[in-house]
Amino acid sequence: MIEMMKNSGRTLFCVLLAICLMGTMTVPAFAAGREPLQPYSSAYLSNYNAYVYPAGNGVVQVWFNAAGTRVVDCLGSQVIQLYESIDGSSFSWVATFTSSSYPSMMGYQTGFHSSHVTYSGIPGRYYMAYVNIYGGPAQGGTSRYFWTASQIA
């Protein structure tokens, strides 16, 4: 009984924390910047990158490429978060794209996938993206997250 209450408390705590995060639209601070941390290897992903491209008139596109170690079931991005800034130093969340809403973000039975998402931003503002790359089977593949550089729309 005590163990159940303890587990419920932890679950409630996690939910509250999630709500706090979503409510304030914060981003995980640990992910800020391309830091040389511990290397990782993957049975599914080989290399990948992403960048923000200013397409003109405030429109920004987040492009990404993902190469698999071989042909894999799923390859692409599950989620891309876009952040906006007036001064180029403090960024706020403005949009999130997920592969469930935008199927073209994910490729299937392929060793390479490239795609992009588009956002109508404001000319003169800075944009950067937090990009997920996923490769592998539908469950249990490899996920990576990283930041792009910022670009002026």
Partner 1 sequence: MPRIPSRGSRAFSKYDAMDDEALRSFLRSDASKPEAEAAGTEELLYVMELLEKRRKERGEARDAQKAFEEFKRYYDPRNAAAQKPPVHAKVPAPPPKTGTAFRWNRKLTNAAAVIALLAGCTLSVGAARFDLWELLVKFTRETLYIETDDGGEPARITDSAKQFPYSDFPEVLRQHGISGAMIPTWLPEGFAFADRRISETPRSRMFYEYYANRDKSLTLEIVENSLEPPAYFEQLGSEVEVYRKNNYIFYIFQNETQYQAACIDGAVQCIFWGDLTHEEIVQMIESIKKV
83 residue type, one letter:
Y
Amino acid at 77: S
Q: How far is the CB of 98 from partner 1 (least distance, A)?
A: 6
The answer to whether residue 116 forms part of the interface with partner 1 (CB under 8 A) is yes
**Of 1, 2, 4, 36, which lies in the binding site for partner 1, with binding defined by CB under 8 A?**
36
Q: Least separation, in Å, of the C-beta of 1 and partner 1?
A: 17
Are 149 and 128 a contacting pair, CB within 8 Å? yes
The footprint of partner 1 on this chain (CB under 8 A) covers a number of residues equal to 89
The 91-110 contact track toward partner 1, x by CB under 8 A, reads xxx-xxxx--xxxxx----x
Strand-pairing partners, residue 79, are: 98
DSSP H helical ranges for the chain: 2-24
Does residue 46 interact with partner 1 by CB under 8 A?
Answer: yes
Q: Which of 57, 86, 108, 120 binds partner 1 (CB under 8 A)?
A: 120
Minimum gap (Å) between residue 59 Cβ and partner 1:
10
Contact pick of 2, 3, 4, 41 for partner 1 (by CB under 8 A): 41
For 48, residues 6+ apart whose C-beta sits below 8 A from its C-beta are 64, 65, 66, 67, 133, 144
Q: CB neighbours (10 Å) of residue 26?
A: 11
